[in-house]
Amino acid sequence: MSTLARHWHPRDARFLGLIALTALLVALYLGEELRLAAREGSGHRVIDLKALERRIDSGDLSNREADWYHLATPQESGGGTP
């Protein structure tokens, strides 16, 4: 420890700061990916909703109601649906 203290230099602190910042960015990125993966885990996909709505408004895509679906019960939606 005393050897480390003897050889400590301000540039080492900058280097450690850079390492810490990189680790923080990696952690944030992984956290976001995990959050999205968890949202998609129940058989649905997160989409670019604004782009979809734009394409529907312009007539490029359809707003036709689908057949073969029902509103999710609280059990089906994991207790999250009122």
Partner 1 sequence: MSAVVCELCPRTCVIPEGAAGDCRVRVNLGGKLRATTYGRPSAIHIDPMEKKPLYHFHPGAQIFSLATAGCNLHCLNCQNWQLSQRGGEEMEETYRAEPAEIVAAAKEEGCKAIAYTYSDPIVFYEYVYDTSVLAREQGLTNVFVTAAYVNREPLRRLCRVLDATNADLKAFDDGFYRRVSGATLKPVLDALVTFREEGVWVEVTNLVIPTLNDDLALIRRMSRWIAAELGVDTPLHFSRFQPQYRMRNLPPTPTDTLRRVRTEALEAGLRYVYIGNVLGDAGSSTYCPRDGTLLIGRSGFTITDYKLTADGRCPTCNDKISGVWL
Residues 55/62, Cβ–Cβ less than 8 Å: no
Q: Is 48 in the site for partner 1 (CB under 8 A)?
A: yes
Give Cα separations from 57 to 1, 53, 64 (angstroms): 67, 6, 12
x/- site string to partner 1, residues 3 to 32, per CB under 8 A? ------------------------------
Site size for partner 1, by CB under 8 A? Answer: 35
56 CB contacts (<8 Å, ≥6 apart)?
62, 63
Q: Is 47 in the site for partner 1 (CB under 8 A)?
A: yes
Report how far residue 41's alpha carbon sits from residue 76's, in angstroms, rounded to the nearest whole number.
13
Q: Is 2 in the site for partner 1 (CB under 8 A)?
A: no
- Which residues here bind partner 1, judged by CB under 8 A? 39, 42-49, 51-56, 59-72, 76-78, 80-82
